[in-house]
Amino acid sequence: MYFTTHLSCGLFCGALTKNSLGALCLGLVSHAALDMIPHHDYDSVGGAAVDIASGLVILSAMQTLFPGLSGPLLWGAIGGTIPDLEVALRRIFPGYKLRRLFPSHSGLLPHPQREFPKGVLVQFAIIAVCLFFCFSLGR
């Protein structure tokens, strides 16, 4: 899954729980659940950079729009995205040897792939639904 997809679901977790610790925990659960949906993962640094920048803009906008939920939104986003740090470290540092721990990265849970463009369209739909509910709950 793309960073922005995980981040958007994490934002939804923050808006839903309205609690930083709950948002962090639910964000981690959401990461595993999203990884089990057939999706497309990018392989280029350029794609990753655009994705991460887009996600950070969305995070900033949501925290600005809903300042009372700023903490839970941030912690939900962190919970939703932080598991991919172990994947990113392997891509950035080819000699990185630590084994993958997160269940959907270690093989404990399925991590199915879907070809472009279907795998991207699935993610756009997830982002739209998560942000819609985030807006609805944030009001």
Q: What is the pLDDT of residues 55-108, one digit of tens each?
A: 999 999 999 999 999 999 999 999 999 999 998 888 888 888 888 999 999 999
Overall average pLDDT of the 41-67 stretch: 94
* Average pLDDT over the chain, rounded to an integer: 95
Overall average pLDDT of the 7-16 stretch: 98
Residue 110: predicted pLDDT = 94
DSSP secondary-structure letter at 96?
-
pTM: 0.95
Residue 3: predicted pLDDT = 97
Burial track 58-79 (b if 16+ CB lie within 10 A, e otherwise): bbeebbeebeebbbbbbbbbbb
